[in-house]
Structure 1
Amino acid sequence: MAVPVVGEERDRALEEVFETLIALDPDQSRIAAALRRTIDQLYDGQNTGRYRWDQLHKTEKTHCGTLVEINLQREFNFKDGVLLDYEIAKHQVDCKYSQSSGGWMIPNEAHAQVCLLVTADDAKSTFSAGIVRARREWLNVGRNRDAKATLSKAGRENILWLARNAQLPPNILLGLPADDILAIFAPQSGQRRVNELFRRAQGRRITRGVVATVAQQADYMKRVRGNGGARSSLAPEGIIVLGHYGAHRAVGRCLGLEELLAGESMSVRVVPADEADYWTAEIDGRLWRVADAHDPVVTAPTLPPVSAAW
Structure 2
Amino acid sequence: MTGDEFLFEIPNNAESSTSYAGDPEVSAVLDWFRSQRRMEARFGQVFRKSIDEVLDGQRTGRYDLNVKQGPRRVEKTEKTYLGTKVEIVTRAEFELEYGFPMDYKVAGHPVDAKFSIIGQWEIPKEAVGHICLLMTANDVKGSFRVGILRTTLDVLSTSQNGDGKRKITAQGKQKISWLVPDGKLPANFLLQLDNENPNLLSGVFEKQGSGQLRVDDFFRKVQGRLVDRTTVVTVAMQKDGPKRVRDARLSLRDEGIVILGYRKPSPRIASDLGLPIPKQGFWVSTRLTELSDDDPRPAALINGKRWGIWHVGDAHVAAPAVNTDVDD
TM-score calculated relative to the size of structure 2: 0.78
After superposition, where does 1:130-209 map in structure 2 within 5 Å?
Answer: 130-144=147-161, 146-159=163-176, 160-164=178-182, 166-176=184-194, 177-187=197-207, 188-209=209-230
1:126 is matched with: 143
The alpha-carbon deviation at position 67 of structure 1 amounts to 0.9
**Matching residue's letter, 2:99:** G
Classify 1:234/1:127 alpha carbon distance in 2 versus 1 (closer, same or farther; 3 Å): farther
After superposition, where does 1:273-288 map in structure 2 within 5 Å?
Answer: 281-288=300-307
Classify 1:303/1:25 alpha carbon distance in 2 versus 1 (closer, same or farther; 3 Å): farther
Q: Which runs of 5+ in 1 are unaligned?
A: none
Task: Tell me the SS of whatever aligns to 1:73.
Answer: helix
Identity percentage over the alignment? Answer: 34
The alpha-carbon deviation at position 195 of structure 1 amounts to 0.4
Is contact 2:254–2:319 with CA below 8 Å preserved after alignment?
yes
Classify 1:292/1:73 alpha carbon distance in 2 versus 1 (closer, same or farther; 3 Å): farther
Give the Cα separation in 1 of the matches to 2:279 and 2:149: 31
The alpha-carbon deviation at position 131 of structure 1 amounts to 2.4
Give the Cα separation in 2 of the matches to 1:300 and 1:110: 61
The alpha-carbon deviation at position 263 of structure 1 amounts to 2.4
Select between 59-68 and 33-42 the one with higher mean Cα deviation. 33-42
The alpha-carbon deviation at position 244 of structure 1 amounts to 4.3
Is contact 1:237–1:300 with CA below 8 Å preserved after alignment?
yes
Give the Cα separation in 1 of the matches to 2:168 and 2:296: 56
The alpha-carbon deviation at position 259 of structure 1 amounts to 5.1
Is contact 1:141–1:147 with CA below 8 Å preserved after alignment?
no
Is contact 1:172–1:204 with CA below 8 Å preserved after alignment?
no
After superposition, where does 1:46-57 map in structure 2 within 5 Å?
Answer: 46-53=58-65, 54=67, 55-57=73-75
Is contact 1:4–1:11 with CA below 8 Å preserved after alignment?
no
Give the Cα separation in 2 of the matches to 1:10 and 1:270: 65
- 1:302 matched to 2:321? The reply is yes
1:100 is matched with: 118
The alpha-carbon deviation at position 197 of structure 1 amounts to 1.0
Is contact 1:223–1:230 with CA below 8 Å preserved after alignment?
yes
Classify 1:305/1:182 alpha carbon distance in 2 versus 1 (closer, same or farther; 3 Å): closer
Q: Which runs of 5+ in 2 are unaligned?
A: 1-14, 68-72
Give the Cα separation in 2 of the matches to 1:61 and 1:186: 26
The alpha-carbon deviation at position 12 of structure 1 amounts to 4.0
Task: Tell me the SS of whatever aligns to 2:145.
Answer: strand
The alpha-carbon deviation at position 76 of structure 1 amounts to 2.3
Classify 1:17/1:293 alpha carbon distance in 2 versus 1 (closer, same or farther; 3 Å): farther
**Matching residue's letter, 1:5:** S
TM-score calculated relative to the size of structure 1: 0.82
* C-alpha distance after superposition, 1:144-195 (max 9, x if no partner): 4654222222332233141515233223255232332232122232111110
1:267 is matched with: 285
CA RMSD, aligned part only?
Answer: 3.1
Is contact 2:140–2:191 with CA below 8 Å preserved after alignment?
no
* C-alpha distance after superposition, 1:85-130 (max 9, x if no partner): 11223332211111102x0112233323322222222233332222
Give the Cα separation in 2 of the matches to 1:283 and 1:20: 52
Classify 1:270/1:126 alpha carbon distance in 2 versus 1 (closer, same or farther; 3 Å): farther
Give the Cα separation in 2 of the matches to 1:38 and 1:66: 9
Task: Tell me the SS of whatever aligns to 2:126.
Answer: helix
Give the Cα separation in 2 of the matches to 1:22 and 1:282: 48
After superposition, where does 1:23-62 map in structure 2 within 5 Å?
Answer: 23-26=35-38, 28-53=40-65, 54=67, 55-62=73-80
